[in-house]
Amino acid sequence: MRDPYAVLGVAKSASDKEIKSAFRKLAKRYHPDANSNDPAAAARFNEANQAYEIVGDKDKRAQFDRGEIDAEGKPKFQGFAGGDPFGGGGPFAGQRSRSGGFDYRSSTKAEDFDADSIFSSLFEGAFGGGGAKRSTASGGFSGARRGASKGADITADLTIDLDDIVRNEKVEVAFASGKKLAIRLPLGVEDGQTIRLRGQGQPAPAGGEPGDAMITIRLAPHPRFKVEGRDLRLSVSVPLRTAVLGGRVEVETLDGRVALNVPAWTNSGKTFRFKGKGLTTKTGGRGDLFVKAEIVLPEGDIALEALMRERAAEPAGR
């Protein structure tokens, strides 16, 4: 894979916030659901995910910057200090035969010739494993190969309601494989955001690290509320009598009903603000709810009609 900084289009000195922002833009731009007719988009989307997995993780980013891992997160072979690795001070000291080649010891049994054991012996010496630990799962060449393998990621779209965002309860997501997970939505979750659940993907074929579960959030349209960032907007009907004389009108919010105090002589279009009745923010707070008054005339009100006719017949300026 290419350099993860280049993939995300950020400098090596970019802040965590800049890296996260760049990843979100690419994920939204190249998401397969929005580019069903573009096969290259899926590759760009996966490339951006892999890049963010490296530089979006504090520890992995530091390892990559120090040259300890490559762009795919695999350990790099660093070489050996002191020159000849097979010399007296090298990690493979004692592995060279008198004639200058390797001495694997002769054997007449086919089962004794195990290439994996040979490389285990060499790599245990190189990376600090002792002879007594050759058969452990983490030692030798076999351990290095298993550590580099990872299971496949699984993906799913999850459609949520505005109520799910503020309820702070777990929601269930189903994957194509039939697997189901109950997750709690992060604070400030947004439409199009992708949530990574590490280790919840497919298991690795050789018992290595399992893949991740990638969940893309889709926000379902609401019949009453309009979303503006973390704020909500709502229109409410106000009877003419209440608009003229003042009074209370019930307003439906995501947290239940509240009373709106309408002052006398309220015009249609006047907007009222309810603090903390919007969507959750990333810092744990809530946005606001803005309620616009819409004056409703009483249908078939004969007395009101007579009054308006009387007013219309009055001389101008009276």
Q: Give per-residue pLDDT as tens, 87-101.
A: 544 545 444 444 444
Q: List C-alpha distances in Å: 160 to 28, 132, 155.
A: 18, 54, 16
For residue 318, tell me if it sits in a domain. no
For residue 232, tell me if it sits in a domain. yes
297 and 244 share a domain? yes
Tell me which of 162, 197, 219 is where a domain ends: 219
Determine the number of helices (DSSP H) and then strands (DSSP E) in the chain.
9, 11
Mean pLDDT of the chain: 79
Residue 237 scores a pLDDT above 90: yes
The pLDDT tens digits of the residues spanning 41-68 come to 878 888 888 888 898 899 899 988 988 8
195 and 144 share a domain? no
174 and 129 share a domain? no
For residue 106, tell me if it sits in a domain. no
Q: Write out the H or E segment, with its range, that includes residue 256.
A: strand 256-262
In whole angstroms, give the CA distance from residue 217 to residue 215: 6
In whole angstroms, give the CA distance from residue 268 to residue 239: 10
For the segment 252-275, the average pLDDT, to the nearest whole number, is 95
Ranges of H-type helices in 3-80: 4-8, 16-30, 39-55, 58-65
Residue 102 scores a pLDDT above 50: no
For residue 45, tell me if it sits in a domain. yes
Can you give the CATH number for the domain in which 47 is found? 1.10.287.110
Q: How many domains does the chain have?
A: 4
Can you give the CATH number for the domain in which 215 is found? 2.60.260.20
For residue 85, tell me if it sits in a domain. no
286 and 246 share a domain? yes
For residue 76, tell me if it sits in a domain. no
- Write out the residue range of the structural domain in which residue 133 sits: 112-148
Count of CB atoms within 10 A of residue 8's CB?
24
pTM of the model: 0.51
pLDDT confidence of residue 77: 62
Is residue 222 a contact partner of residue 164, using CB atoms and an 8 Å limit?
A: no
The pLDDT tens digits of the residues spanning 124-153 come to 444 444 444 433 344 444 444 444 578 889
